[in-house]
Amino acid sequence: MNYEYIEKLVSDAKIGDLNAKETLLQEFTPFINSISRKIFIHGYERCDIKNECFLTLCNCISKYKLNTNSFVGYATNSIKNNLNALITRIVKLKDFDGIFSLSDDLDNTVSQNHLMEQEIKFLQHEHNQLLSAIKNNLSDSERHLVLFVFFKNNTLTNYAYYENISYVTASKRKKKALEKLNTLLKHA
């Protein structure tokens, strides 16, 4: 990458030149394609990871202070840090996986059949709580998003296309709905 050219594009993009912003996104596309191929995030498809990277890049453009550092370094580090934070958040969610997070010592004290019965009851209870929270506490649009993305195994990109909204708007709706469900399930 030509660093001076990139700095000029960032400067133009910050004053509202959409062509410069588009060119800047195209310049970073090979990097984003490369990094998205190397990363797996549970619940995200490759196109979702790419979109997260482009979203981070757009945030970098708006937050970058001209002539402070190299924009290329700033943007690539921001993208990597955002993906690492996303991975960390997903890994922390695994702590709430219920019976699956118990240690192997449990197998020594409880018979396998009894454990499976408890696991089934626990999962049924969690499933019923989740369905109840979705049905009774989410708005129609939030319920549609959750069902479309998580129960019908569609991507967030497909949801955005189907609803004729931007990916950023769809991402914000998803985040809001999941935060609402998380709060409801914690207090259930």
129-178, pLDDT tens digit by residue? Answer: 778 778 888 888 888 888 888 888 889 898 999 999 999 999 998 999 88
Give the predicted TM-score (pTM) of the model: 0.51
Q: Which of 93, 110, 28 is nearest to 61 (CA)?
A: 28
For residue 64, count other CB atoms closer than 10 A to its CB: 19
Domain boundaries, the chain: 3-93, 103-186
Q: One digit per residue, pLDDT tens: the chain, 188 residues?
A: 788 888 898 889 988 889 999 999 999 999 999 988 888 887 788 888 899 999 999 999 888 888 777 888 889 999 999 988 888 887 776 655 544 444 444 444 545 566 667 777 777 877 777 787 788 888 888 888 888 888 888 898 989 999 999 999 999 989 998 888 888 878 76
CATH of 103-186, one of 1.10.8.10, 1.20.1560.10, 1.10.10.10, 3.40.50.10860: 1.10.10.10
Q: Give me the architecture of the 3-93 domain, per CATH.
A: Orthogonal Bundle (1.10)
What was the pLDDT predicted at 80? 92
Residue partners of 173: CB distance under 8 A and separation at least 6? 141, 142, 145
DSSP 65: P
Q: Note the pLDDT of residue 105.
A: 47
**Number of residues assigned to the chain:** 188
The DSSP symbol for 64 reads P
